[in-house]
Structure 1
Amino acid sequence: MGSVQHLPYSVSNHCPLLVNKESNRSSLRDQRFYFEAWWTLDDSFEGTLTDIWESSSAPLVEKLKIVQIGLKKWARDLKFNKGDKKRRLTKELEILLMDDMDEETLKIHLNIEIDKDEVYWEQRARTNWL
Structure 2
Amino acid sequence: MSDHCPLFLNTRILNEERRKWHFKFEAAWLVEDSCELEVRRLWNNATGLIPELLRTASIGLDSWFRKLRAARKITTTELRKRLETLMEMAPTDETLAEIVDIKLALNLENGKTELYWEQRARVNWLKHGDKNSAFFHS
TM-score by length of 1: 0.65
Aligned to 1:113: 109
Letter in 1 for 2:74: D
Unmatched 5+ stretches in structure 2:
1-8, 13-17, 130-138
Paired residues of 1:41 and 1:116 also in contact (CA < 8 A) = yes
Provide, for residues 15-54 of structure 1, a one-character-per-residue CA deviation record: whole Å limited to 9, x for no partner. Answer: xxx9xxxxxxx844xx111111112222322221221122
Identity, % of aligned positions? 36
- Higher RCO, 1 vs 2 (CA within 8 Å, ≥6 residues apart): 2
Unmatched 5+ stretches in structure 1:
1-6, 9-17, 19-25
Q: Displaced runs of 4+ in structure 1, greater than 4 A?
A: 127-130
TM-score by length of 2: 0.62
Aligned to 2:65: 75
Q: How many residues align?
A: 111
More helix by share: 2
Q: Distance in 2 between matches of 1:94 and 1:111?
A: 15
Kindly name which structure, 1 or 2, has the bigger radius of gyration based on alpha carbons: 2
Paired residues of 1:86 and 1:110 also in contact (CA < 8 A) = yes
